[in-house]
A and B are shown apart, each in its own frame.
Chain A
Amino acid sequence: QLQLQESGPGLVKPSETLSLTCSVSGVSISSTGYYWGWIRQAPGKGLEWIGSIDQNGGGFYNPSLKNRITILGDTSENQFSLSLSSVTAADSAVFYCVRFVGAPAGTRGIDYWGRGTLVTVSS
């Protein structure tokens, strides 16, 4: 059974870097045809596509996050990570790690989601 589990600090100070890890079980992140990435949801708001990586680690990022975002894969640990630098209160959200099917944004959908982890940016 495929499972994704987010981990990382729930509180980050403004201007610092938010770092999250997604541990994947049940399938290799090197599997062909899938992309692994992150979606966030600010409290009471809608869903925002952050970015994804392909089986070779190539990244696809939301331009709205400019140069603040990095997603990296670790095939030895079967996990991938998110770094978001220079955070502000506007970055506070529930962050979901997900699997995209067929393309960086999921032409066949986003079929597996982690439970989500709330990250609050506050001093």
Chain B
Amino acid sequence: DIQMTQFPSSLSASVGDRVTITCRASQRISSYLSWYQQKSGKAPKLLIFGASSLQSGVPSRFSGSGSGTDFTLTITSLQPDDFATYYCQQSYNTPGTFGQGTKVEIK
């Protein structure tokens, strides 16, 4: 299985901050990387697919980049609604493994 490692595992930030989350794959996965946002008690929501393609309806303050093994999710100007846990997931092959998550908390 491809191992996905996210860091940091948690971070504290203020409204308006720029936040960057990193995801690293244990082998090259081209651009087969998606990002999800999960709020407490809710199902995850797709933010980014193909490493950098914004899912329809997702605010443009979310962006993704990277290819190969190293990827980032960036939130420019963090909003109150953005405090959640974020997961990366590779879809290069099955099983489609997820990172362990990054919890974004209010500073």
Report A's interface with B, CB cutoff 8 A.
Answer: 46-49, 51-52, 60-64, 96, 100-111, 113-116
Contact = CB atoms under 8 A, between A and B. Distances in A.
Given A111-B46, A116-B43, A105 B96 contact: yes
B102 to A, nearest CB: 11
Given A101-B49, A103-B91, A110-B36, A49 B97 contact: yes
B36 A46 contact: no
Contacts of B48: 109
Interface of B: 1, 32, 34, 36, 43-46, 48-50, 53, 55, 87, 89-101
A4 B94 CA distance: 22
A66 to B, nearest CB: 12
A46 B101 contact: yes
A42 B47 CA distance: 22
A49 B34 CA distance: 13
A115 to B, nearest CB: 6
Given A49-B97, A96-B43, A110 B50 contact: no
Given A106-B91, A110-B89, A46 B98 contact: yes
Contacts of B43: 96, 113-116
A106 B34 contact: yes
Contacts of B49: 101, 106-109
A96 B93 CA distance: 20
Contacts of A111: 46, 55
21 contacts: A46-B99, A47-B36, A47-B87, A47-B89, A47-B101, A49-B96, A60-B94, A62-B94, A103-B91, A104-B96, A105-B89, A105-B90, A105-B91, A105-B95, A105-B96, A107-B32, A107-B49, A110-B36, A110-B44, A110-B46, A114-B43
